[in-house]
Structure 1
Amino acid sequence: MGTQLTGRTVRVLIGPEPKNLVTRDMPEVKVSFEGFVGDRHAGLVRPASVHTPWFPRGALVRNTRQVSIVSTEELELVAEALGVPQVLAAWLGANLELAGVPHLTRLPSGTRLFFPEDATLVVDAENEPCRKAGRALEAHYTGREGLASRFVKAAHQRRGLVGWVERPGIIRPGDKVKVTLPPTVTYSVPPEPGASGSASRE
C-alpha cells in the first residue's frame, strides 16, 4: 500500500437525465460495478470519444469514466478565480464531492478511494475542464460574459478526477474516505542496442 490520506464525503450526486450535465444531491448512492446506480455515466462500457483518440470514435471501450469526483477546496479556488460567489459540484456534473484531500485533482492514476460501506473507487485520470461545464456554470450567473471560456483556465488542475468502481457498496454524505496512493514508480526507456550518447554523422 502506498501513502494514505483521509478525507470526508460532502456530497453524493447522480445525473439521471441523459442530455443534462447537471447532477442532483442524494442522501445516499448505491454503487455497482457499473457506477453510481441511476447515473447517466453508469455502464461497464462506453463509446470511444475525445478521451480515447487511439480508438475509432464510437467503438465500445471499457468505461473508466463512471464517476466524476471534485474537491470542496478546489471548487472554492475556481469560484475565487472567476469572481463568483460559489461553484457547486452539481453544476459541473460531479457525482462525488470530497473535502480534506489536498490537491485532489493531482492524485495519480491508480489511487484508490475506500468508503466505510465497502464501495471502492479507482482514479483513472484528471477530468480536463471544458466549455460545456463552463456553460452550465454560466447559466447560473447571467450577465457574466465570457464565464464559460474563463472557466477552462480557472479550473485547470482543479476540475477533479474521473474513475471507476472496483468494489460495490453504498456512499453517503459524511462518510470518511481513505485515500491510498499507488507506489511511486520511476521508469526509464533503455537505449536501443548500439545507440550512443552523441549524434552520428553520415
Structure 2
Amino acid sequence: MADEGRRFGTEIAIAPVIKRKARAVSLAVGQGEEIATRRVEAIELTLEGIPGDRHAGFVRPADVRVPWFKRGDPIHNERQLSIVSIEELAEIAAALGIAEVEPEWLGANLAVAGLPAFSMIPRGTRLFFPSGAALAITDQNAPCRIAGAELARHQGGERLDFRFVEVSRRLRGVVATVDKAGRIAAGDALDVRVPEQWVWPG
C-alpha cells in the first residue's frame, strides 16, 4: 500500500477494504410530491429503484444539488433511495431536544442500525441483502428545510426547520442506487463492503 502511495510523489494513506455487518430496521416508500414516506414490511427492488416511489427511475432532472448542470436537464439518477441510521436519528433528536425522529419524516426509504458514523460511509460502499439484492452508496445526503418542516409538523417547535439543518449536517444519511435487484425486508441482516479509500492529493 505504501509503494502505491509513493507513485503519486507523496505519501498517500490507502485504507483497505472493510467488511461489516448491519441490520435493516425499517423500509418505506415515497408517493406523490410529499417528502414523507410510508412504512412497508418489504420491497421488491428493480434496477430503477423502488417501484412507485417518487425517486424511482434511471434518470432525474438536475436540481440545486448539481449546479454544474442546467436546472431541469435529465441526468443519471444516483438518488434512487435515501438511507438513514437509527443511531444518527437519535443524535439529531437529542440535539433538537425532541423525543424522536422517525425515518419516514425525513423521506427515508431504509433505516439501518449497527454502522457507526453512517453518514460518513464512503461512496461505492455496497449493502448486500439476504436475497442477493444490493445497494451502492453514491453520496452523502445534505439536510434541507423541507425535511425540517416535515419534522416540525410531527414534533412541533418554532423554527425547527432551520435548527434541523444546523444539527443534522453529516448525520442526514446517504443516497444510493440499486446495484442488483431483489427483495429487501425489514429485519434483514446486511453485509456491508466498504471499498478501498484514499484522498487524492490534487
Q: What is the TM-score with the length of structure 2 in the denominator?
A: 0.90
Structure 1 vs Structure 2: percent identity of aligned residues? 43
In the alignment, which of 14, 17, 23 is matched to residue 8 of structure 1? 23
**Match of residue 177 from structure 1:** 190
Amino acid at match of 1:2: V
For 1:10 and 1:155, the matched residues in 2 are separated by 20
Give the deviation of 1:174 after TM superposition.
Answer: 0.6
Amino acid at match of 1:3: I
Give the deviation of 1:23 after TM superposition.
Answer: 0.3
Give the deviation of 1:186 after TM superposition.
Answer: 4.0
- Give the structure with the higher percent helix: 2
**Match of residue 132 from structure 1:** 146
Give the deviation of 1:55 after TM superposition.
Answer: 0.9
**Match of residue 7 from structure 2:** none
Give 1 or 2 for the bigger CA radius of gyration. Answer: 1
Give the deviation of 1:185 after TM superposition.
Answer: 2.8
Amino acid at match of 1:145: E
For 1:12 and 1:48, the matched residues in 2 are separated by 26
For 1:186 and 1:72, the matched residues in 2 are separated by 28
In the alignment, which of 79, 86, 108 is matched to residue 65 of structure 1? 79
In the alignment, which of 19, 23, 48 is matched to residue 34 of structure 1? 48
Amino acid at match of 2:132: D
Asked if residue 160 in structure 1 is aligned to residue 180 in structure 2, the reply is no
**Match of residue 69 from structure 2:** 55
**1:186–1:79: structure 2 CA closer, same or farther, 3 Å change rule?**
closer
Amino acid at match of 1:28: A
Amino acid at match of 2:48: E
Calculate the aligned-residue CA RMSD, in Å.
1.0
Give the deviation of 1:188 after TM superposition.
Answer: 2.9
* Unaligned segments of structure 2, at least 5 residues: 1-15
Give the deviation of 1:50 after TM superposition.
Answer: 1.0
Amino acid at match of 1:50: V
**Match of residue 126 from structure 2:** 112
Secondary structure of the corresponding residue to residue 90 of structure 1: helix
Amino acid at match of 2:27: V
Give the deviation of 1:153 after TM superposition.
Answer: 1.2
In the alignment, which of 147, 152, 161 is matched to residue 160 of structure 2? 147
**Match of residue 98 from structure 1:** 112
Which ranges of 4 or more aligned residues in structure 1 deviate by more than 4 Å?
A: none
Q: What is the TM-score with the length of structure 1 in the denominator?
A: 0.90
Amino acid at match of 1:146: R
Give the deviation of 1:141 after TM superposition.
Answer: 2.2
Amino acid at match of 1:61: I
For 1:114 and 1:102, the matched residues in 2 are separated by 17
Q: Deviations over 1:126-154 (max 9, x none)?
A: 10001010000000123x11111000111
Secondary structure of the corresponding residue to residue 140 of structure 1: helix
**1:159–1:186: structure 2 CA closer, same or farther, 3 Å change rule?**
closer
